[in-house]
Structure 1
């Protein structure tokens, strides 16, 4: 009899603990890992870029892929002038408008124009890129615009290449934004493509000055192409976004404020 009572008592006690521990087992609360937080930031980044692309009405004017990469780099770096960005899409032929100057603050495109690539980068399309002196090729990636000057090609804008081994020799190579007679619709009409530079993103003469004055002094310029080598080498694009969720918010989440299931 005593053994039977003892067994019943133990069974009841086990049931008691099972009942009150079961809810916690069904709904465990876990503090998100750094990887989880990064995933949240990336998701938020994607949605905000898509929204901005639509608000500026860039469809049919600038490939989403080019804009997306430009914005990811923009989020991962700091620029003196954050309102203006320039995106050059070298996946397009030189006969098409492939430079876009965008006002992020007011959400509108300021300029949309043709632009020349380096003569050794290709004929109608730019397919080869280099950071080397004497290559006469264009360089991909992220740049910061600098000062202006009057040179052999007239009013020009200095570019600082921000990606080591990819475009950081732009300044020593004198790769600058300038106007050129060979960058015009008349050249396209007569030859089937634009004339080419020594690596500079050259503009139509009538647009060079207004564009340079708009993007000078610390704005971001990004040159895009569907180039696997660049994508594999770019540390800017591989960096984690840092501006979408404030560091204090991350700290609060990891401390247990706003615990996720």
Structure 2
């Protein structure tokens, strides 16, 4: 019996030691796991959210408005909305009207190549015909000028301004924003106005629309509606078949402001 007591006296401290070591080791493991989980959690929290590429965001807007179905090409819309965003960020546009007008003179005059887009409500308000200047070409415009008496259309970005009553009835003045490209629009009296030669009847008779002296002329019966929609400092972009460069096509600058659309 004494022999067993001596053995237990020896074993008991050893068992206590081993149990204590096990508990301490288990505690350290748990602490390390908790620290790693905490570190991983912090890393996840601190990781910045990546923004989608600029073109992807533009594509989302393009698809939301169903612009492809209306015939407006994505590349033209991308240029137009890039300029719109940059002009908006410079406070050049009416904050109460998120209206973008796009005219694509790379298309035939027999196509509806003018779009009035409500960016706020993601909808096309109007898609209709528009004439180019007689000096720019017959059915398709291929020459553009900023010079008076050229009777040619001008490409680029415009801001719509005030209305007036002229020889074509209600008309809307335009201010060209691209130096050397369209900045003489006001002095050239380049305005939006109605014209009888902008009609399907004219197309059926002549195979194309009639032509203006450089103005983006629109159908007579839609003139007042169009002017009402786009007047008072909204953005107009005129695209053409030729290469066009503008400070307003700065995508990097526009990317920082696109979420305001």
TM-score (normalizing by structure 1): 0.74
Match of residue 46, structure 1, among 34, 55, 60: 55
Match of residue 73, structure 1, among 83, 103, 108: 83
Alignment of 1:92-111 (within 5 A): 92-111=107-126
Please state if 1:124 is matched with 2:139.
yes
Per chain length, whose mean CA-contact separation is higher, i.e. which structure has more relative contact order (CA < 8 Å, sep 6+)? 1
Residues paired across the two proteins, number: 203
**How many Å separate the matches in 2 of 1:245 and 1:176?**
30
For residue 194 of structure 2, what is the aligned residue in structure 1?
A: 179
Alignment of 1:1-261 (within 5 A): 44-61=53-70, 62-78=72-88, 79-81=93-95, 82-228=97-243, 230-231=244-245, 234-238=246-250, 240-242=252-254, 244=256
Query: Higher Cα Rg: structure 1 or 2?
Result: 2
Conserved in 2, the CA contact under 8 Å of 1:44 and 1:244?
Answer: no
Q: Give structure 2 stretches of 5+ with no counterpart.
A: 1-49
Give the number of the structure whose residues are more often helix, by fraction.
Answer: 2
Deviations 1:76-111 (A, max 9, x none): 212124511100011100000000000001000000
TM-score (normalizing by structure 2): 0.74
List structure 1 runs of 4+ shifted beyond 6 angstroms.
Answer: none
- Please provide the CA RMSD for this pair: 1.6
Q: Give structure 1 stretches of 5+ with no counterpart.
A: 1-39, 247-261
Shift in Å, 1:157:
0.3
**How many Å separate the matches in 1 of 2:242 and 2:250?**
15
